[in-house]
Amino acid sequence: MFRIALKMLAADRAKFVGLLFGIAFTSFLVTFAASYFCGFMTDGFALIAENGATDVWVMDPAVESVEQTINMPASALDRVRSVRGVSRAVPLALGTADVRFPSGQFQTFQVIGVDDASLAGAPIVPGRNLEELRARDAVIVDAGGTTGKLETPALARDQWPHDGAHLDAPTRELRGGDELLVNEHLVRVLGQSSALPRYPPRPLLYTTLSNALRILPVEPHTLTFVMVRAAAGVSPRELARRIEQRTGLRARATADFKSDTVRWFLVNSEDVGDIAAMLTLAMTMGFGVTGVMLYMFTYEHQSQYAVLKALGTPSATLIAMVLAQAAACALLGTGMGLGLCGIAGEVVVRLGFPFRMLWFTPLAGLLGVVLVSVAAALISVRPVVKLQPAVVFAGR
């Protein structure tokens, strides 16, 4: 009977293609939305991810993510270093500055001040020695997921002009040797790095902590995070618990701090609502197309089902045939949708958009297809359940 059901399905090519389209669309859009969501969530904790040698992050007790922070007193560093089990603890400072370009344009940067001694947290610049970052007013710039934000005048006459800003001057990307003005401090660019993109996207300016304190506005507290490496044999979560008990500060293992940041974005980011709207649209469109097409297919093939029922086929078997048709469409449509999502993912990644297909995102697409297909099948079995062969044949 299942073979007959599949032959009936393939024989009506127009509706078969329509069913595949509806399910493939659902599979594609749900998986793409979930993968896009994972992409910008990963970008959200990029600062944590790019400091892979850090086991524990220490911060003010009110801080819940790397996106919304408040500084601690500099004395917090010594308090953390005094805790048993700490192998290394280095400072990290975050700030925001409006950076003036030589043409007169300005752009808001996130300033990241790294430890002067170890340079822990500083990115690599191809062709440059990282030790150069210790020079006074030396900085490294990074696009941070943005496009066209690191542009400086291409011609020397348009750089720091005396006749006013040259805002329409031709530009090129920043490179080693260029200058920027940060809070009336002239800084020298060592080069551009390729750090992980940020969410929300923003240009980044890396420098040493001493330089950061000089170019940023004066604040009573200057330390944002303490990055801790655990001693041998000490688990990060156990060390975090010790630091909290000893210092009163908030300490989180790296994996836990990533989870905290994702949770913070889930609660506070407006993009979460956009993803939910996209998923709702995918499910609604998929259900509409699949449900209507499967119902029309079942309704228009009542005479065939009536023949089978007149020959003694139980209603349960006929219902199973409809479910088998829905399952076959779901299987093929899901595969098509996932394949299209993989291709689209490669394209959007190359265009610079956040996209990360994790192991559970195809499962999310499959779940969406299952819900749509089950709902469509339940609607479509109604004509089969109420089928009366005599009435059908009389109508023919």
Per-residue pLDDT tens digits for 329-356? 888 988 999 999 999 999 988 887 788 8
Cα–Cα distance measured from residue 310 to residue 305, given in angstroms and rounded to the nearest whole number: 9
User: Could you tell me the sign of the dihedral formed by the alpha carbons of 313, 306, 375, 357, in that order?
Assistant: positive
With bands split at pLDDT 50, 70 and 90, how would you rate the model's confidence at 388?
low
Q: What is the mean pLDDT of residues 164-186?
A: 93
Q: What is the pLDDT of residues 290-344, one digit of tens each?
A: 777 777 777 777 777 777 777 777 877 878 887 888 888 888 988 999 999 999 9
Predicted confidence (pLDDT) per residue in 230-270, tens digit = 999 999 999 999 999 999 999 999 999 999 999 999 888 87
Least confident span in 81-95, 204-218, 241-255, 266-280: 266-280
Q: How many Å separate Cα 48 from the centre of its chain?
A: 14
Q: Residue 137 and residue 162: Cα distance in Å, rounded?
A: 23
Nearest to 114 by CA among 17, 6, 279, 225: 225
Task: Check the CA dihedral 289-294-297-299 and report its sign.
Answer: negative
What is the residue-averaged pLDDT of the chain? 87
Confidence of residue 392 (pLDDT cuts 50, 70, 90): very low
Segment 164-181 shows an average pLDDT of 93
Q: What is the pTM of this model?
A: 0.81
